[in-house]
A and B are shown apart, each in its own frame.
Chain A
């Protein structure tokens, strides 16, 4: 069923403005939303990069050295820096949205939003510290 209502008597001509393809450029809130949507590309980028890293590992030390060499090019460093910023943006906005989708109730009362978001951040911190320790400890 179409929800489009037809113009009625005494309203001879309605003016309906077409939404521009660039609707998201004019307003910061909209632009932020589109940037957030685009940030999923940087998530995909790191997944692909990890797959290539595994592939290099599979082909031996020489291949891995070549892969590491490629990562050191200024272009790759710039690309990864931008992708990392987007990844942070993606993660932070995702955690901040979590309490909106999951209203946690304890004893009939709604738990404040920051208390729902906080465990996400805590877990993120713990995992990051653990991974950092794993990478930086002496073999």
Chain B
């Protein structure tokens, strides 16, 4: 007989439940199984109404993020065996997000915030295709590469208490992605992003708890990205007092570059 392990899963049916409730499921304990395998087993064999998001099973798509024993985790990369044979594993939807049903969270807030920081290459001059590709040295790529590894799994949002306390806070992933484009030498949009970033709901909302970086499955270090941008914004602000003319010239230069 195979060993069993109990999963305590948060269930929420909007038509029936006022608040989420927990339901226990017994699943086979297999060494090679991750939490997502156990959820798929439940949906296949025990209760087909269990609702959750998943897709790639290999830590690329970023859709299977859930709270596992109170920690934001990609369930496709969290082994049952890491909790021990007798442990009870509690699976909940990602914290601080509105719950749509069972383990599915509403991502609309996040998507609105993500759009705010314009996470795409912004060019003032469109270079004709005939001019060839933008060449980039390994050093230039290295500046932003770490921040480009984000898979939008939103684990960092579930880890950040500021996200929970202040629903207007843009949040770690979006700020790190903004920095990813700011540091890309093909991009000319940092001025356009400044308004949303150097704002009480942007970088200045961050209190540097650092949990976003700890839970990130892709080692993006959003906390680092935000602190680096804080330093840059503060230096720019001081420069505008100390070197008002120089600063102006600098802006003029950038404007010309933009034109």
Chain B: interface residue count, which band? 35 or more
Contact of B221 among A27, A29, A100 (CB under 8 A): A100
Cα A113 to Cα B139 with chains together (Å): 18
Whether A102 pairs with B210 at a CB distance below 8 angstroms is no
- Chain A, Cβ-Cβ closest to B166: A19
Whether A3 pairs with B113 at a CB distance below 8 angstroms is yes
Chain B nearest Cβ from A86, distance in angstroms: 18
- Chain A, Cβ-Cβ closest to B168: A3
| B244 is an interface residue with CB less than 8 A from chain A | no
Cα A1 to Cα B70 with chains together (Å): 32
Would A19 and B96 be within 8 Å (CB), given that A3-B167, A5-B108 are in contact? yes
Contact of A19 among B106, B139, B165 (CB under 8 A): B165
Would A100 and B224 be within 8 Å (CB), given that A15-B99, A27-B70 are in contact? yes
- Chain B, Cβ-Cβ closest to A102: B231
Q: Which residues between 179 and 226 of chain B lie within 8 Å of chain A, taking CB atoms?
A: 201, 207-211, 213-214, 221, 223-224
Would A24 and B161 be within 8 Å (CB), given that A3-B168, A4-B109, A15-B12 are in contact? yes
| B55 is an interface residue with CB less than 8 A from chain A | no
Q: Kindly list chain A residues whose C-beta atoms are within 8 Å of the C-beta of B70.
A: 26-27
* Inter-chain contact total with CB atoms closer than 8 Å: 89
Q: Kindly list chain A residues whose C-beta atoms are within 8 Å of the C-beta of B227.
A: 97, 100-101
Whether A14 pairs with B14 at a CB distance below 8 angstroms is yes
Cα A16 to Cα B105 with chains together (Å): 10
Q: Kindly list chain A residues whose C-beta atoms are within 8 Å of the C-beta of B15.
A: 12-13
- Chain B, Cβ-Cβ closest to A113: B224
Cα A102 to Cα B230 with chains together (Å): 10
Cα A108 to Cα B210 with chains together (Å): 26
Chain B nearest Cβ from A104, distance in angstroms: 11
Q: Which residues between 14 and 35 of chain A lie within 8 Å of chain B, taking CB atoms?
A: 14-17, 19, 23-24, 26-27, 29-30, 33
| B98 is an interface residue with CB less than 8 A from chain A | yes
Q: Mark B89-130, 1 if CB is under 8 A from A, else 0.
A: 000000110111000001011011100100000000000000
Whether A19 pairs with B161 at a CB distance below 8 angstroms is yes
Contact of B106 among A11, A30, A101, A110 (CB under 8 A): A11
Chain B nearest Cβ from A116, distance in angstroms: 12
Q: Mark A112-139, 1 if CB is under 8 A from B, else 0.
A: 0000000000000000000000000000
| B47 is an interface residue with CB less than 8 A from chain A | no
Q: Kindly list chain A residues whose C-beta atoms are within 8 Å of the C-beta of B236.
A: none
Cα A101 to Cα B222 with chains together (Å): 11
Contact of A3 among B14, B20, B109, B164 (CB under 8 A): B109
Q: Kindly list chain A residues whose C-beta atoms are within 8 Å of the C-beta of B224.
A: 100-101, 103
Whether A2 pairs with B164 at a CB distance below 8 angstroms is no
Contact of B209 among A7, A11, A16, A33 (CB under 8 A): A33
What is B's interface to A at a CB cutoff of 8 Å?
12, 14-15, 17, 19-20, 70, 95-96, 98-100, 106, 108-109, 111-113, 116, 138-139, 142, 161, 164-165, 167-168, 170, 201, 207-211, 213-214, 221, 223-224, 227-228, 230-231
16 more CB-based (< 8 A) A-B contacts, given A29-B209, A29-B211, A33-B161: A1-B116, A3-B113, A3-B116, A5-B111, A14-B100, A15-B17, A15-B20, A17-B96, A19-B96, A26-B70, A30-B161, A100-B228, A101-B227, A101-B230, A103-B228, A110-B142
Q: Which 3 A-B residue pairings sit nearest by Cβ, starting from the closest?
A: A5-B108, A108-B139, A101-B227
